[in-house]
Amino acid sequence: MSRSDEYSRLATLVATTRETSGDLFGQALVEWLRQHVRFDHCVIFGYRGASRPPLLFETFSPTESHVFVALYQEGPYLLDPFHHAAVERKEGFWRMRELAPDRFYASEYFRSYYSQTRLAEEVGFFVPLPGKDALVLSLMRLRASGPFGTADARLLRDMAPAVISFIRLRWPALPADETAEAKQDETAAIVNEFDRAHIWQSLSLTPREKHVVDLVLQGHSTESIARAMRIVPGTVKVHRRNIYRKLKIKSQAGLFARFVEIIDARIR
Strand, coil or helix: 125: strand
Distance of CA 262 to the CA centre of its chain: 19
Given this model, what pLDDT does residue 5 score?
A: 65
DSSP states of 211-236 as a string? HHHHHHHHT--HHHHHHHHTS-HHHH
Backbone angles phi, psi at 46, to 5 degrees: -100, 150
| 44, 82 contact by CB (below 8 A) | no
Residues whose CB falls within 8 Å of the CB of residue 112, separated by 6 or more in sequence, listed in order = 256
Backbone angles phi, psi at 136, to 5 degrees: -135, 125
The sheet carrying 92-95 orders its strands as: 55-58, 41-47, 134-142, 119-128, 92-95
Given this model, what pLDDT does residue 135 score?
A: 97
pLDDT, averaged per 10 consecutive residues of the chain (268 residues), comes to 62 75 87 95 95 95 96 93 96 97 93 94 97 96 97 97 94 71 42 53 85 93 96 97 94 90 73
pTM for the structure as a whole: 0.86
Range 69-96 burial, b when 16+ CB lie within 10 A, else e: beebebbbbbbbbbbbbbbeebeebbbb
